[in-house]
């Protein structure tokens, strides 16, 4: 949506109005022709007036949800109790181990750190835990010291250096890959949550309210699917930015958020889980018009981009059916004359399933052809 124009910003219109107004004044008693010094001053001031008009229009547009950005958007959100989600730190499950079982509990304090050697990134425990008497290890969630996606992607076993030494603890290792670190919420996501905010005013637990609350839990929640298999039982499935499947630590975090007594109706039983991936493959052959032979290379590149956009579209909504017709449409829009799709076949997904590409897409250029 383009900005609304409350005040004209066209310099020529402003200048013409100003010149006509000035020429109508009895004290001037003459026309302002091109080259007249007074006319030149009016033209210069008209330009300044146009710049101020642009600024005034922009400021006025910041009062509208579709136009507001930055702090102006934050201010609109406050009116509906919606605040911008901050960046999230990556998490993983850390296992602290003893050399042998002990006759007393071994304390692992809150904030105990582990790292990948030479990485400069630390994961600290988010709670105080104890290795029970007779046991040799305890598992606890560790959170990266710096928020953002930079600490994502460390594989199982890579976080294995204990920074804060603890008596009797001989080793630490991560049981899950570090994941789900994210940047602060962007304007587009915040704007959408503000638009959806009125749906949560009901305390009856409608579907839209649970969708909104799930998106409130984290800045990077992208798609949410709700199902109620039994009365008062609410099953919630969600994905993160780009259709990423959340880690178990993130699922637990969102479930705890939704089960807060100030959010969940007392009678509801809320279960949160990741969607089930349904794999599909892409194999297609496309043909290019003879008339487009001069730009065949660009069309090939556009088709590859179109297929990438289809893959992202396919996994950006839980329960979205695998739809080869959409794939054909996008490839055709990219410049193909015709398309033969071997895979995927149409596949109807359930509310808890997510279409995920298996391997890489096979795109075959069938050559040039006549219409």
SS3 of residue 364 by DSSP: strand
Which pLDDT value is given to residue 204? 56
Show the beta-strand stretches assigned E in the chain.
91-98, 106-108, 113-115, 122-125, 129-131, 137-144, 161-162, 169-174, 221-227, 233-240, 269-273, 276-280, 283-289, 338-343, 353-357, 362-369
DSSP state of 241: G
Which pLDDT value is given to residue 1? 63
Nearest to 86 by CA among 172, 232, 14, 190: 190
Nearest to 179 by CA among 253, 111, 235: 253
Which pLDDT value is given to residue 203? 57
Reading the block at residue 320, the tokens are 């979205």
| Phi/psi-derived region of residue 180, left when phi > 0, alpha when psi is between -120 and 50, beta in every other case | left
Report CA dihedral (215, 154, 280, 297) to the nearest 10 degrees.
100
Q: Tell me how far CA of residue 2 lies from CA of 7, 9, 55, 192, in angstroms.
A: 14, 14, 15, 17
Domain 187-274 has CATH 3.30.300: yes
Which pLDDT value is given to residue 30? 82
Q: The tokens 């958007």 sit on which residue?
A: 73
Which pLDDT value is given to residue 337? 95
Reading the block at residue 216, the tokens are 């409130």
* Buried residues in 284-322 as b, exposed as e (16+ CB within 10 A): bbbbbbeeeeeebeebbebbeebbeebbebbbbbbbbeb
Q: Domain segments of the chain: what residues? A: 11-79, 91-174, 187-274, 278-369
d(CA 109, CA 83): 32
Nearest to 224 by CA among 148, 81, 320: 320
Which pLDDT value is given to residue 147? 93
pTM over 0.85: no
SS3 of residue 49 by DSSP: helix
* Buried residues in 37-64 as b, exposed as e (16+ CB within 10 A): eebeebbeebeebbeebeeebeeebbee
- Tens place of pLDDT for every residue, the chain, 371 residues? 678 889 988 999 999 999 888 888 888 878 888 888 888 998 999 999 999 999 999 999 999 999 999 999 999 999 998 999 889 999 999 999 999 999 999 999 999 999 998 888 999 999 999 999 999 999 999 999 999 999 999 999 999 999 999 999 999 999 999 999 999 999 999 999 999 888 777 655 788 889 989 999 998 999 999 999 999 999 999 999 999 999 999 999 999 999 988 888 888 999 999 999 999 999 999 999 999 999 999 999 999 999 999 999 999 999 999 999 999 999 999 999 999 999 999 999 999 999 999 999 999 999 998 88
Nearest to 251 by CA among 129, 76, 83, 93: 93
Which pLDDT value is given to residue 295? 94
Which pLDDT value is given to residue 101? 95
* H-state helical runs in the chain: 11-23, 37-61, 70-79, 187-196, 207-217, 248-258, 296-314, 324-333
Helix (H) or strand (E) holding 63: none
Bridge partners of 278, per DSSP, are: 355
């Amino acid at each position: 949506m383009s900005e609304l124009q409350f005040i004209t910003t066209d310099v020529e219109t402003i200048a013409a109005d100003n010149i006509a107004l000035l020429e109508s004044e009895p004290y001037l008693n003459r026309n302002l022709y091109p080259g007249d010094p007074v006319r030149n001053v009016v033209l210069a001031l008209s330009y300044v007036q146009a710049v101020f008009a642009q600024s005034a229009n922009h400021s006025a547009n910041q009062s509208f949800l579709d136009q507001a950005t930055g702090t102006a958007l934050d201010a609109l959100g406050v009116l509906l109790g919606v605040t911008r989600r901050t960046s999230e730190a990556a998490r993983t499950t850390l296992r602290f181990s003893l050399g042998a079982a002990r006759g007393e509990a071994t304390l692992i304090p809150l904030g105990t750190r582990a790292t990948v050697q030479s990485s400069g990134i630390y994961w600290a425990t988010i709670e105080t835990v104890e290795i029970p008497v007779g046991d040799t290890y305890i598992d606890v969630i560790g959170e990266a010291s710096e928020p953002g996606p930079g600490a994502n992607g460390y594989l199982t076993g890579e976080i294995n250096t204990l920074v804060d030494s603890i008596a009797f603890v001989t080793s630490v290792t991560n049981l899950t890959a570090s994941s789900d670190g994210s940047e602060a919420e962007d304007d587009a996501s915040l704007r959408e949550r503000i638009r959806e905010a009125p749906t949560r005013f009901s305390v009856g637990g409608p579907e839209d309210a649970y969708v909104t609350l799930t998106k409130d839990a984290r800045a990077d929640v992208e798609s949410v699917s709700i199902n109620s298999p039994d009365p008062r039982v609410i099953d919630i499935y969600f994905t993160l930015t780009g259709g990423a499947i959340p880690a178990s630590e993130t699922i637990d975090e969102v479930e705890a958020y939704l089960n807060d007594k100030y959010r969940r109706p007392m009678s509801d039983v809320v279960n949160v889980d990741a969607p089930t991936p349904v794999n599909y493959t892409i194999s297609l052959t496309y043909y290019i018009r003879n008339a487009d032979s001069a730009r065949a290379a660009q069309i090939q590149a556009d088709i590859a981009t179109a297929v990438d956009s289809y893959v992202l579209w396919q996994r950006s909504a839980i329960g979205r059916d695998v739809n080869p017709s959409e794939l054909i449409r996008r490839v055709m829009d990219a410049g193909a004359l015709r398309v033969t799709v071997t895979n995927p076949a149409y596949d109807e997904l359930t509310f808890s399933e997510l279409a995920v590409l298996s391997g890489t897409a096979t795109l075959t250029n069938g050559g040039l052809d006549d219409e």
